[in-house]
Each structure stands twice: as C-alpha cells, then as structure tokens.
Amino acid sequence: MSEFAPRVFSGVQPTGNLHLGNYLGAIRKFVALQESHDCLYCVVDLHSITAQLVHEDLAGQTRSITAAFLAAGIDADKHIVFNQSRVPEHAELAWIFNCVARIGWMNRMTQFKDKAGKDRENASLGLLAYPSLMAADILLYRATHVPVGDDQKQHLELTRDIAQKFNNDFSAKIAALGLGVPMQVGEERVDGFFPLTEPLIEGPATRVMSLKDGTKKMSKSDPSDLSRINLTDDADQIARKIRKAKTDPNPLPETVEGLKGRPEAENLVGIFAALADRPRADVIAEYGGKPFSEFKPALADLAVSALAPVSTEMRRIESDPAEIDRVLAKGGERAREIALATMKDVKAIVGLL
C-alpha cells in the first residue's frame, strides 16, 4: 500500500434535536465532502449512553439523526450511513485502545471535565473512555479526515496520540506482518498501521452561538427553545426566533472588525454569511450601517429558504421508520466489511488468536 487513501469519517450523537449549529457546523460540511471523498457518516449511539444511560427513545433519536443526514443531502448509496452499535468492532477496537491510551490522557479532556462536573468519581467509566471509542470509530476505517466542530479538536489530537502509540509500540510486529503504510510524521517518513487523522475545521460558522446570548454556543440543552433554531422548526418558528434574537441597540458596523465585542451582531452576521455561503465582509458591505430591524427580516427569509426544504424532507423521511432502518442496516453491512478487515489485522498485530 502506498499512503492511506483519503477517507472521511464523522459521527453525530443521537441526543436531542439537531439545530442550526449542527447543520452549519457539521452536516452541511458532510454533504459537501461527498464530492471529493469516500465518506462514512455514523450515528454514534454507543457514545450517547456515556453521559446518561437511560434515554426515553434512543432508537427514535437515532432514526431522526439519520433522517436529518438524508434530508440534508447525504447519499447513502454512494457513501456509508449507519449507526455505531450495528458494527460491534467499534466496541472491540475501543477496548484495545483503552489499553493503548493512558488514564492521564483521558483525565485531561476538557469535555470529560465539563460533563463530569464536580463529582468526577461518580461519572461513568464510559464517559472517561469516551475519546477512546471515538478514536476507534475513526481508526476502524483508517479515516484520514474528520469534519468536526472546534470543540472536538482535542479528541482528534488524542486520536492521533492513540494511533501514534499503537504504531510505535507495535512497529516491529507491523513491519514483520508487512502491514505498515508509509506516511509523513513531522520531518520523518515512517510506516504505520493507523493514519494520523486530520480534523477538518473551517468555514465561517463553525461556532453558531445562542440567539439569546452571543457568548454561549447554540445548544440542544439550553432550556430556552428561543435560543436555537431546530432543524424541525417550520418557517413561522424560524422567522419568529430570528425576530426575537438578542441584539445590541446599534446598527450593524461598517466593517468586519466592528463586529468585535458585539457577540450577538457577530453571531447573526456569521449565520447570514454561512447560510448564504458568502464571506462576512460581503454581508457587511450590504448591511453595514443598517439597523437590525432591516437585517433580521432578510436573515429570516434566508434561513427559511435554506432550512425549510431540509425540515420538510426530514419530516417526510421520519414518517417511514422502516425505510430508515433499511438504510442503516445496509450501511452497517458495508461498514462492517471494512471494520472486519481492519480488526483482522489489528488482532494479528496484537497477537489475539
């Protein structure tokens, strides 16, 4: 083999409703990457039981994320769409990675610290090992690129650390079995079994903030539904939420620099730019100096025209759960073929008969 073939993997947890932040920050990028890469898009149901074990309707949430993928334009025939628990090799490789990763690495993860809160002793062991399962998701397919929000950067670094330690610790065995793939690590050319996966974090709206507080991320767990635009909101709801979005009393600035220190203005301009697929400077050139009372209706129209077709299609797809299950079953089979081939090599490398 010469170099790792470019491959994209990403995962979304089936917890809560998808919102504009997930759409602009993740799903829309997943759609675009289909043109240039082989992609696997996974609903990571095993991750969703790390923070909270019992969910009211986990299966329904898994179907709903799948429906959002399909409605946004992910092609489940050309690429692979599936849910994680269908491919048992995710958990199998995660176990091996639990023995590669060090407890100290896990303890340093900011997401773990945030989610575990003050009472770390009482967090599930799965929550601590979450990044190891995430590394397994990615490396099971030897994915080279992972589109994620910037909050996942640290987990991607950890994925690289796990790949590198595995490659190093087993280098003799990998070479003996002829399973090494040449790759560049810093200045050096080395052979490794797992690639050092790169995050793909770009675009003007990687961080979509709350409509009620421009300093907080838009979140499915915010108690106020007015703080976010859900992918399932209809045209009236979208327009109403934008009308009620928090702003400051000044008109929009004449320059992009003028957005500094005005988080709400910056967020709304960022959302406009992302939805219109135009640079912020362009949006400012058009709306700079104008009051929010003029900008908001334009933003609402844009949001409705971009999102309403997705939410309509999502509702249509969700009305046929059996069809969603067929998509996931077929995607799972195709994913598993790749996963089994990787695990066969991993077992040979580790010495598991």
Known catalytic residues are 115, 217, 220
The Cα–Cα gap between 203 and 150 comes to: 11
Sorted by sequence, the CB contacts under 8 Å of residue 175 that are 6+ apart come out as 191
* Residue 40: strand pairing partners: 9, 80
- In terms of CB distance, is 137 or 233 closer to ligand TRP? 137
Q: Enter the tokens of residue 124.
A: 């599930």
Residue pointed to by tokens 């670094």: 157
- In terms of CB distance, is 84 or 230 closer to ligand TRP? 84
- In terms of CB distance, is 87 or 256 closer to ligand TRP? 87
Of the candidates 89, 17, 106, the residue with the CA atom closest to the CA atom of residue 46: 89
- In terms of CB distance, is 22 or 247 closer to ligand TRP? 22
Report in angstroms how near the CB of residue 90 gets to ligand TRP at its nearest. Answer: 9
> CA 106, 110, 111, 114 torsion: positive or negative?
positive
User: Phi and psi of 337, rounded to 5°?
Assistant: -60, -45
Report which residue's Cβ sits closest to ligand TRP: 11
Contacts with ligand TRP by CB under 6 A lie at 9-11, 13, 44, 47, 134, 137-138, 146, 148, 152, 155
Q: Enter the tokens of residue 338.
A: 């790749």
Encoded amino acid at 248, one letter:
D
Report in angstroms how near the CB of residue 45 gets to ligand TRP at its nearest. Answer: 10
Report in angstroms how near the CB of residue 133 gets to ligand TRP at its nearest. Answer: 7
Report in angstroms how near the CB of residue 19 gets to ligand TRP at its nearest. Answer: 13
